Chain A
């Protein structure tokens, strides 16, 4: 066998797949996205033919020539396809990119004319595929900024050359000599007491070094959720517990010299359980006499909100029209292409080092230090490039267990989730049931708005309270309405825990609120855009919603009016025609999001003039395709009067700066970016002073370069502004089959100053695409036994190239008074208006109001059937089927 022209020095194992074999040989560009042949991240060429190496028997490559992304470039530089992905920036996190490049490089002319079909076997969770289509077509999107004008330019990601060549280093893309493998035994029961774990047989397996059970775990409880203020989340989780509260929860861990031995050790464990009664829905959980999941949590309610403004009763009495409906959203998986995983070791100084796929290195360090009673300076947490996050990695799901094993064995240990474990044992978006009641006068002015919200946090409360409170805030604070009432509950159930997910509760509640407003507008005969204009908050307004909310949120720039104007213009312009016989309709929805979380979000940055005359920026935030690194380089370049190629960013390592709350809550630009701005301006001032006020020319900098000039910057994340997003669709629905086609998609965003149009557009396109997945396809299902039944990409359909239409992205022209250089957040929020805009378009087209996500073809078709045996029966078929399965 030849791998990129070289003979490997060892033969594959009999049952080994080509993917792991190639990685063993150092070809880290070959990625594991699914390990089941579905996502294409592991695509390589065998004798010139593209294959998914995760389902290709390695022994079969004997005598053949294998090319990975590392071997694609020729002696004269990048392969043309690599260059195109670089020029178009056909990636965000980049985890799928090697596979896409290897696939594209193998496409025939015919296949290039039918990309939706050709890319069936390549999943990208970040981009929404437009950037990939551009790359294939040879579109050049990146620009080289000139000195002093980096901000506002479409600078390419600094890591681009590494991403397209497979040299970008993600969590496991390094050789750790002597590393041991950790595998987990997971609970088969949704609720049980662990009476005994018999480990003798497991320990007798050759290669097994350690078995960990609840007896080995610290007694302390913590939350897997990571927030600056740890008290935001209930401390209800142990590393290993003697009570398991969902099917899929850790029961024990086996550490061994090989994955095979660790797996065999897991199979050899024998556990005695006392099975306990389980509750699988919030209704069951909150019922009188329901089994209690956590001590001291009455009726399993982990958080609730009951608050009122004005007089909702009087408001509804005054209304000319009142609409009330209940809306539901299912569990959704983040499906970042890089699964959760961490590798830990002790460094030469005996300090615990954990390299992990995380959005929060500093908070994870803090959590590990507390859990194992270590000083924080005896723990280092590092993230490589992170292969997608979407909130899922604002969570400590693996690091605690890896740390325990490393501390016990004092040897390196790795633990990598399988794709199935991502579904059964990570976190999901919180499922919500939202009843909204809204009233308005005949002219469309709202008189009262009332929410009844129930969210399901699953077995643990990580992010549960915060998501519930957040979901009930900006979703209605975006409207002026004097009379509002909110009743909300967040309940524990014996199901896979929910956690942080892009939008953080807003998308679920906005689906209900924006659908209800659309329905109200129709009943009043008021244009839905006009109804929004009549009621939205305006510059200078206070942002209010029932309940005690942190009062540091202000409208520091206002572009929602412009967004609505964009949408009105879009609705009046032509769209692709619909097929004959299909029903056509338009729909829109508007949302607001706080630019950062309440209660503090801190970032430190350091700017240093290096001996080589370049500048080093140290920041804490991780890079997972969000592009904050690019923006930090742009901010630094302008502040220092140079070009971004002379900026080197060190990041996501607890050793490089003092603290960083993390890359979540859309803070990469508005918080960390502000710290970078302060640090680089500070350095610029110092250098100018040292130069006696002279211009910082290359020669002046060369003289100063040896003197170690450095400056620090900090931002505390408060006060906060708000960003706005409005989505509009025109859809066509085939009443005969339920097929839905998006004829046109337009998204208008108020992001303040757009720091990097290419990236900001990419964030919006990716957010819309991910939301289309949640709207049209995705649902994590739980069976009657509490098990997740959709534990792979064949059961859980992620949007493919064929599923995602182009979305036209428009920006409001605003300049924020708080954000760095006028910028606002724009990473989570594009997700939020998509589902209601689509529901409203379907309502416009068909006359039917869909209230339960997602809208798959079978469900749309069922909803369109008259209320006879053909219609409602379709739903009950499914329900009875699931119950008896």
Chain B
């Protein structure tokens, strides 16, 4: 929709240009999807032409402006699966960005699931400098992140070891191809088994098992680590169902990856 209060677009925009009333603009699919009457300027990041995907020895750097379509075509199976967890269609994938999905911080944000499940980190930039922190800690609640005023998410980094790990994925929704009510990703590598819960919960929960857990241990760990009030209560699924589905999928993933 039109953002009628916007009077200027800065393109390409840089760190340090932000002032109150500004919004960093990625693809725009989230920003233009709701009224934003507080905005006066858009700081366009896509025109900076950051390389979308950069593969290095230590892993994959995904620019904030990498589109979902570019990531889905990157050849990483788990990344493509997470892209399919988007409620949005492939047409939105052509425009929406990885960074935009991370910053929207919705429980169902599948880039959060991907980043958290693969021990990814995000690089944040501001005039005060840069900081790096785990994706799992970047999102703090439904729609909230650690981003400070004017701070910008530059990229997400996925470590090489996690990228090559064996993964398992389960997505549950109230509807076929619908918005995720629960998204559980498992990863098995030399560090053991990691199970990441998103969509069902207000923020990501990462459960780590150094040794292959039993079904009972998995069940206990989920109950211990994820309090009942951490499960999201909205139109996309009753909390009790989300909790049940989380346990069901986590157990399926455990069985799949431990076998």
Residues on A lying within 8 angstroms of B by beta carbon are 13-17, 20, 35-38, 40, 43, 49-52, 54-57, 59-60, 103, 106, 111, 116-122, 258-260, 263-264, 267, 418, 736-738, 776-777, 779, 781, 789-790, 794-797, 800, 802-803, 856-859, 861-862, 870, 873-875, 877-878, 881-882, 885
A54 and B175: CB pair below 8 A?
no
Which of A52, A789, A797, A861 has a CB less than 8 Å from the CB of B178? A797
Interface 0/1 of B126-138, CB less than 8 Å to A: 0000000000000
B94 contacts partner chain A, Cβ-Cβ < 8 Å: yes
Q: Check A874 against B240 for contact (C-beta < 8 Å).
A: yes
For A798, the closest partner residue in chain B by CB is B175
Q: In the assembled complex, which residues on chain A have CB atoms less than 8 Å from the CB atom of B242?
A: 858
Given the interface pairs A60-B46, A737-B172, the reply to whether A37 lies near B33 with Cβ below 8 Å is yes
A612 to B166, CA, bound (A): 74
Cβ contacts under 8 Å, B172 to chain A: 737
Question: Is the Cβ of A120 less than 8 Å from the Cβ of B94?
Answer: no
The reply to whether B89 and A122 contact each other, CB–CB distance below 8 Å, is yes
Given A17-B2, A738-B241, the answer on whether A52 and B34 have CB atoms closer than 8 Å is no
B6 contacts the other chain (Cβ, under 8 Å)?
Answer: yes
- Distance between Cα atoms of A848 and B87 in the complex (Å): 31
**Complex alpha-carbon distance, A96 and B245, angstroms:** 35
The answer to whether B177 and A56 touch across the interface, beta carbons within 8 angstroms, is: no
The answer for the CA separation of A120 and B90 in the assembled complex, in Å, is 8
The residue in chain A whose Cβ has the minimal distance to the Cβ of B86 is A120
Chain A contacts for B32, CB-based, 8 A: 17, 37, 54-57
In the complex, B214 has a CB within 8 A of chain A:
no
- Chain B residues closer than 8 Å to A870, beta-carbon distance: 240, 244
How far does the Cβ of B234 sit from chain A's closest Cβ, in whole Å?
Answer: 8
A-B pairs with lowest CB-CB distance, top 10: A121-B89, A15-B6, A15-B3, A858-B241, A874-B240, A260-B4, A802-B176, A881-B233, A35-B1, A858-B238
Task: Assess A60 versus B28: contact at CB under 8 Å? Given A36-B33, A103-B91, A118-B90.
Answer: yes
Q: How far is the CB of B14 from chain A (nearest CB, A)?
A: 18
> Most chain-B CB neighbours within 10 Å: which of A259, A781, A877?
A877
B29 touches A795 (CB 8 A): no
Complex Cα spacing A35 to B177, Å: 21
The reply to whether A263 and B37 form a contact with Cβ atoms under 8 Å apart is: yes
Please state if A55 and B29 are interface contacts (CB–CB under 8 Å): yes
Q: A15-B42, A57-B25 are in contact. Are A40 and B91 (CB under 8 A)?
A: yes
B contact residues vs A (CB 8 Å cutoff): 1-9, 11, 25, 28-34, 37, 39, 42, 44, 46, 84, 87-92, 94-95, 172-179, 181, 233-235, 237-242, 244-245, 248
Which residues of B have CB within 8 Å of A859?
238
Question: Per a CB cutoff under 8 Å, which of A50, A260, A796 touches B94?
Answer: A50
What are the residues of chain A within 8 A of B248 when measuring CB–CB? 736-737
Neighbouring B residues of A858 by C-beta, 8 Å: 174, 181, 237-238, 240-242
With A14-B42, A37-B29, A57-B32 already in contact, the answer to whether A121 and B91 are too (CB < 8 A) is yes
Which residues of A are found within 8 Å of B30, using beta-carbon distances?
55
Contacts of A875 in B (CB 8 A): 238
Specify the chain A residue showing the minimal Cβ separation from B240.
A874
User: Could you tell me if B245 and A737 are in contact, using CB atoms closer than 8 angstroms?
Assistant: yes
Query: In the assembly, what is the distance between CA of A856 and CA of B238, in Å?
Result: 10
Q: Which of B33, B34, B237, B239 has the most CB of A within 10 A?
A: B33
Asked if residues A797 and B174 are in contact (CB atoms below 8 Å), the reply is: yes
Contact of A856 with B88 at beta-carbon distance under 8 Å, contacts A55-B28, A878-B233 already known: no
In the complex, besides A118-B90, A121-B89, A790-B235, 4 extra interface pairs with C-beta distance below 8 angstroms are A54-B1, A57-B25, A103-B89, A857-B175
Which residues of chain B come closer than 8 Å to A878, judged between CB atoms? Answer: 233, 238-239
Determine the chain B residues whose CB is within 8 A of the CB of A803 once the complex forms.
Answer: 175-176
CB distance from A11 to the nearest CB of B (A): 11
Whether A120 and B1, one on each chain, are in contact in the complex, defined by CB atoms closer than 8 angstroms, is: no
Do the beta carbons of A877 and B89 come within 8 Å of each other? no
Q: How far is the CA of A803 from the CA of B87 in the complex (A)?
A: 14
Complex CA distance for A57 and B32, rounded to whole angstroms: 8
Contact A121 B176 (CB under 8 A): no
Complex Cα distance, B204 from A366, in Å, reads 58
Tell me how far the C-beta of B219 lies from the nearest C-beta in chain A, rounded to whole angstroms. 14
Check A15–B39 contact: CB distance below 8 A.
Answer: yes
- Chain B residues with Cβ below 8 Å from A738 are 241
* Given contacts A14-B9, A856-B174, A862-B240, A36 and B34 within 8 Å (CB-CB): yes
How many angstroms from the CA of A111 to the CA of B175 in the assembled complex?
20
Kindly list chain B residues whose C-beta atoms are within 8 Å of the C-beta of A857.
173-175, 237, 241
Task: Decide: B91 and A43 in contact? CB cutoff 8 A.
Answer: yes
In the complex the two chains form, is B28's CB within 8 Å of A263's CB?
no
Q: Report B-chain residues with C-beta under 8 Å of the C-beta of A57.
A: 9, 25, 28, 32, 42, 44
A259–B2 touching, CB < 8 Å: yes
How far is B142's CA from A29's CA once the two chains are assembled, in angstroms?
37
Give the complex CA separation of A264 and B176 in angstroms: 40
Return the chain B residue nearest A857 by Cβ.
B174
List the A side residues contacting B181 at CB < 8 Å.
858
Cα-based distance from A844 to B235 in the complex (angstroms): 27
Query: Chain A contacts of B1 at CB under 8 A?
Result: 17, 35-36, 54-55, 418
The CA-CA distance from A49 to B173 in the complex, in Å, is 28
In the assembled complex, the CB of B198 is this many whole angstroms from the nearest CB of chain A, namely 17
